[in-house]
Chains A and B, each alone.
Chain A
């Protein structure tokens, strides 16, 4: 029988929805033009975790995605590769081989993604499998059920255990809070504060598998948690909004939010990522437009 345990020593802070919305409105009012726009688009592209997480994924599909990750659009000079390719554990080896020799990393979801409904042993086993297959990064999910039941110690220990395993193999851990299941921004902040106690490489909003994925509100709340954590401990934890970010303009707003809340130290793919599949092509279209002054047909950009 499980015992509810609220004894974990951690405190969170209240979040005000109006305040969050006001701050976002200010950030969205920033006008990002000309050189700043091109630099921002390049930066956004280099921060993408190009993702495919379908039951129908095959090795061929993953290889295509990997080529796109390394060569988003060769016709456009100066386009950087994306940060990583994100797949299920069984496809890590395929991705690793396809990406050999490039700087693009392989991220694997693990811990019974997306629901996380399994025992810690099973989660560790899956994580271990992903790592031995060659993953550079692991995206884990927290046990939302336990979190919402107030079993914070359980959730924290789980994250700590997975993170310890990752660190042992120099693998970066991203902790998915699945904010769409947490119910309020106060809970998002609390989950972020809890995850930060385990000192992961990144915290991440969503699995992309439920209706509500990343938005600017939850991202801002999580960035504020990261900022407080940094000023308290000196540790620079990264951030990854995932799902639902598909246009370049929104991506630039996210980068502006990172710059204003955390500062330029976070404007690198070591500390900020977009979990997205469609975003890359919109960024490419915008870069092309900056270059030629004209929008091109989407048919000119590969869909993988």
Chain B
């Protein structure tokens, strides 16, 4: 009888992917070389191989991007909602048609498993465009009794954890509301945003309605300090978010920020334990833990702690870490060398703080940036690994005895983006959702996203909502 039934390699084909060696800036509907002639490299974090050269936008480029967005705003904002909707529907459909290519590029450039980019990132990105396309001609009914108009030009800066999806979150509502945009993807993951620029070109959007410029933090700083945009939208770290908030106040601009998190995932003893264990896995190891709403703090009621921990370790042992392009990979590559260093710093720190570390056995690939799924037990609320956002596959586990205790501990953080509650008792769910200071509380599930559902934070996790009807408010001016 067969034992050791191991999966054979199931690599996703990359032959249909069309990448250029060098990418310019997408400004005013044209591909433009950077004025300073500077480029940077983007590479595959699983192989460390270079994928393409990307333009580094300087002051002149940022200027011209905003100029073209400003110019395009005049006609775009006057277009009827139904007409704008047509363009956005077209973008959504083209993304769907090219979904396989998008998924492969997303995994090559960012390191996330192809299963996730194929089943989550890309379909959700298309869904966001479809959803907001539908709102474009219904804006006057969204806020009864209030007259709405487009805001103007939006400057949008997005992170590297969900590159195309975050671009969709930002661009779709902005366009539906009649604004024009200048968007900058993160330095390590520009490729799908540049592919999106090709889609926007193919969809025939008027030149300048969407401008996509690439660069590092210096380009981002030029964007936020620029006088043209009326609106700054940022998703990323709390540290950078604070700088952007300052710039927005100085420039008198509207701003929405979606920042870090250190979410509490709470398991009560009456929970469906097997489902909860799966929820813990999805909560912290989804996308290598590079998720602002990751369930990075686990609170388990003491009566079921031993059972939960044993099951969690067994489930971790069955996770497949490795080649992001393999269809069976559960955990892919860490996005960048820099991020791996940060994570490793916290792994060391956790042990120094006296917590006990657990990682499954098994080898990691030699090349590339990798981190095994990790959990820490024997963690104190005052430990830095329990307080600071690690943005990696690292879970800090604490126990609790009573409902009041866990509410207090869960809220005892400067963040407040998300939380999870696991219990078979409906009334307990509602007691918790009222008491937890978090923008999203998942009950008996975790990390579920939908364009119709608003997303955003409390406290230092930011403000403003993206998604749903709430997401329109962030891109409309009210008379």
Contacts and interface: CB of A to CB of B under 8 A. Distances in A.
B272 A40 contact: no
A267 B273 contact: no
B361 interface: no
Interface residues of B, number: 29
A30 to B, nearest CB: 6
A46 interface: yes
A40 B3 CA distance: 10
B271 interface: yes
Contacts of B9: 33
Interface centre among B8, B270, B276, B318, by most A CB within 10 Å? B8
A16 B7 CA distance: 28
A255 B7 contact: no
B8 A35 contact: yes
Nearest to A36: B8
A293 interface: no
Given A29-B115, A35-B8, A19 B275 contact: yes
Contact of A31 (B275, B310, B328, B444): B328
Interface residues of A, number: 33
Interface centre among B275, B279, B424, by most A CB within 10 Å? B275
Interface in A1-46: 13-16, 18-20, 22-23, 26, 29-37, 39-40, 42-43, 46
Contact of A13 (B3, B6, B119, B273): B273
Contacts of A125: none
A292 B308 CA distance: 47
Contacts of A16: 272, 275, 424, 444
A264 B115 CA distance: 24
A74 B314 CA distance: 41
Interface in B1-37: 1-10
B99 to A, nearest CB: 16
Interface in B183-214: none
B272 A13 contact: yes
A18 B5 contact: no
B1 A22 contact: no
B278 interface: yes
A30 B445 contact: no
Contacts of A36: 5-8
A242 to B, nearest CB: 21
A30 B119 CA distance: 13
A280 to B, nearest CB: 17
Contact of B445 (A22, A31, A43, A268): A22
A255 B5 contact: yes
B274 interface: yes
Interface in B245-290: 270-276, 278-279, 282
A264 B4 contact: yes
A224 B274 contact: yes
B445 A19 contact: yes
A34 B279 CA distance: 31
B327 interface: yes
A259 B5 contact: yes
A269 interface: yes
Contact of A19 (B115, B270, B272, B328): B272
Given A31-B327, A33-B8, A33-B10, A19 B3 contact: no
A77 interface: no
A26 B444 CA distance: 17
A14 B270 contact: yes
B270 A18 contact: no
Contacts of B2: 39, 42-43, 267
Contacts of A32: 7-8
Given A15-B272, A264-B5, A267-B2, A22 B282 contact: yes
A224 B315 CA distance: 12
A4 B466 CA distance: 56
B4 A22 contact: no
A19 B444 contact: yes
A99 B328 CA distance: 40
A236 to B, nearest CB: 14
A100 interface: no
Nearest to A29: B115
A260 interface: yes
A231 interface: yes
Given A15-B272, A30-B328, A224-B274, A267 B8 contact: no
A18 B1 contact: no
Contact of B1 (A14, A30, A269): A269
A159 to B, nearest CB: 24
Given A19-B272, A19-B274, A36-B5, A260 B279 contact: no
A18 B275 contact: yes
B5 A43 contact: yes
B13 to A, nearest CB: 12
A81 B278 CA distance: 37
Contact of B278 (A22, A29, A34, A46): A22
A18 B445 contact: yes
Nearest to A225: B274
A267 B275 contact: no
Nearest to A43: B2
Given A31-B327, A43-B2, A231 B8 contact: no
Contact of B310 (A15, A231, A259): A231
A90 to B, nearest CB: 32
13 contacts: A13-B272, A14-B272, A15-B274, A16-B424, A22-B275, A23-B278, A29-B327, A40-B5, A42-B2, A43-B5, A264-B5, A267-B1, A269-B1
Interface of A: 13-16, 18-20, 22-23, 26, 29-37, 39-40, 42-43, 46, 224, 231, 255, 259-260, 264, 267-269
3 interchain residue pairs of minimum CB distance: A19-B275, A31-B10, A16-B272
Given A19-B278, A26-B278, A29-B119, 11 more contacts: A13-B273, A14-B424, A15-B272, A16-B272, A18-B275, A35-B8, A39-B2, A224-B274, A264-B4, A267-B3, A268-B1
